[in-house]
Chains A and B, each alone.
Chain A
Amino acid sequence: MALKESEAIVLRTYPLREADLLVTLFTRLEGKVRAVARSAKKSRRRFGGALEPLTFVRAYYEDRERQELARLDSCEVLESPLSSEVSYPRAIALGHVAELLDELLPEREANDAVFRLVVAVLARLRGTEVWMPITYFELWMTRLMGYLPELSECIACGRTLNGGRAFFHALADGLMCAADKRLASSEISAESRGLAAQMFRAPVESFAGAPWPKAQAADLRKFLLQTLQRHIEKKLVTAAMLEKIS
């Protein structure tokens, strides 16, 4: 079969047999693809640092007849997370992006919007400033996967929430007004909802530069994570680690 060429993001690798690696790639051409990188564990000569998680590469791979796994021939690094300092918060944020993509994306289904989102967010994920790119990524991923409910009206009574108080609950499919909120609901501020609206209108670059402490839009991130975790029906390992970053 002919060798395919595509830009791709390396999501994660698993050891396979004695010397091989099983690589999960998010390719621009075909979406999530799982491929075997022969001898990648034993010898670093062929792939070098190209198989590190969240490396932006040009991947060359081929499908094998009647086999689910592709064969990864080679990777050319376009942008590596190792080209700038990997701080502890950045490592967790990178892991979070990789885990979300791995859990949310279906196999072999191209999604150019998500691909462009990841490339843009990774370019902003530098140093220890992780909260803005993470918020932007979670918000857009929730929307692009089709899981984001309407943020401006109550799911129970349909009344508009603009300017008023809004609440969310782990088992509810959207926001609720003060009158319809469930027991043990959390509040999402009007500022955070306003920020979400801004993020839908502007690229991630336009939010760079301004300080973004952990507390900013923390309620929005909690709502988004609850929504995502409800749909994938599991807890994200990296979400708990992000929570612990001070």
Chain B
Amino acid sequence: MSKFAEPMVRLIDELKKLPGIGSKTAQRLAFHILRSSDDDAEALAAAVRDVKASLRLCTICNNITDVDLCVYCSSATRNQRLICVVEEPTNIAAIEKTKHFNGVYHVLHGSISPLHGVGPEQLRISNLIRRVEGGQVDEVILATNPTVEGEATATYLSGQLRRAGLKVTRIAMGIPVGSDIEYADEITMLKSIEGRREL
């Protein structure tokens, strides 16, 4: 016999499917929802429903958006000739935090990962190629992660994009700001030496 009533068990089971949520946390969240007001519980349910019903991918950049085109692709103030390529939609927020990038984005929704059977054909590369072939782009910044998979993706993309005759750049890699050189690992140090700039 179950410890809780059936609707409560169902809610706990659903919450357990979320990343980082174990049985105990799911149970705590479920009881929190039970104790909250009807309005709050309904608002949570509506938010979950809406996120699935109204969000889609931007037809130009593949970013997650509720309107097509997304806020970046439809903006008149952003430089549409400068594209920053990222692996996931969440990477956009990290770049936007800098307040120094005024271009637009292209989201690949992953990176080349041979061990997981993910090749270029599984990524959203074809519409990036179409975007740059129109001649409306001056530069593409490859901002994939500094991992083996991210590097492989960047190298593959640079080969494809250079054929279109445009400037292709890669984000710099090196020592994080505020850290200590003494504690930098060998490969990070190597990349910072390689990517040094003249002052």
Asked whether, in the complex, the Cβ of A238 is within 8 Å of the Cβ of B114, the reply is yes
| Docked pose: A48 CA to B114 CA in angstroms | 22
Let me know if A91 and B114 touch, CB within 8 A. yes
Contact A48 B148 (CB under 8 A): no
Of all chain B residues, the one with the shortest Cβ separation from A88 is B156
Known: A48-B184, A80-B187, A241-B119. A94 touches B148 (CB 8 A): yes
Q: In the bound complex, do residue B114 and residue A244 qualify as a contact, i.e. CB atoms below 8 Å apart?
A: no
Residues of A within 8 A of B117 (CB): 237-238, 240-241
Is A53 a contact of B156 with CB atoms below 8 Å? no
Bits for A10-53, please: 1 = Cβ < 8 Å to B, else 0.
00100001100000000000000000000000000101111011
Flag whether B185 is at the interface (Cβ < 8 A): yes
Say whether B188 contacts A48, CB under 8 Å.
yes
Q: Which residue of B is nearest A54, CB measured? A: B148
The residues in B between 4 and 23 inclusive whose CB is less than 8 angstroms from any CB of A are 19-20
Q: Does B162 contact A (CB under 8 A)?
A: no
A86 touches B151 (CB 8 A): yes
Q: How far is the CA of A81 from the CA of B150 in the complex (A)?
A: 12
Inter-chain contacts of A67 with B (CB < 8 A): none
- Contact check, B120 vs A82: say whether CB atoms are below 8 A apart: no
Q: Are A83 and B185 in contact (CB under 8 A)?
A: no
Tell me the B145-178 residues at the A interface (CB within 8 Å).
146-149, 151-152, 155-156, 159
Known: A17-B20, A48-B187. A86 touches B152 (CB 8 A): yes
**A71 in the interface, Cβ–Cβ < 8 Å?**
no
Grouping DSSP codes into helix (H, G, I), strand (E, B) and loop, the B interface class, with mixed when no group exceeds half, is: helix
- In the assembled complex, the CB of B108 is this many whole angstroms from the nearest CB of chain A, namely 14
A52 to B185, CA, bound (A): 13
- Of B152, B159, B185, the contact of A48 (CB 8 Å cutoff): B185
Picked from A83, A87, A237, A241, the residue with its CB within 8 Å of the CB of B187 is A83
Interface string of A88-125 (1 = CB under 8 A from B): 10111011101100000000000000000000000000
User: B100 contacts the other chain (Cβ, under 8 Å)?
Assistant: no
Pairwise interchain contact A95-B114, C-beta atoms closer than 8 A: yes
- Kindly provide the distance from the CB of B148 to the nearest chain A CB, expressed in whole angstroms: 5
The answer to whether B186 and A81 have CB atoms under 8 Å apart is no
**B184–A12 contact, CB under 8 A?**
no
Q: Does A195 contact B (CB under 8 A)?
A: no
Interface contact B152-A12, CB-CB below 8 Å: no
Cβ of B112 under 8 Å from chain A: yes
Q: Which residues of B contact A91 (CB under 8 A)?
A: 112, 114, 148-149, 151-152, 155
13 A-B pairs besides A49-B187, A82-B148 with CB distance below 8 A are A48-B185, A48-B188, A49-B185, A54-B148, A77-B187, A86-B151, A86-B155, A91-B114, A91-B155, A95-B114, A98-B115, A237-B116, A238-B114
- Chain A to chain B contacts (Cβ below 8 Å), 20 pairs: A17-B20, A18-B20, A45-B179, A49-B185, A49-B188, A52-B147, A76-B186, A77-B186, A82-B187, A82-B191, A85-B155, A88-B120, A88-B155, A91-B114, A91-B149, A95-B113, A95-B115, A98-B115, A99-B114, A99-B115
Which 3 residue pairs across A and B have the least CB separation, nearest first? Answer: A95-B114, A48-B185, A91-B152
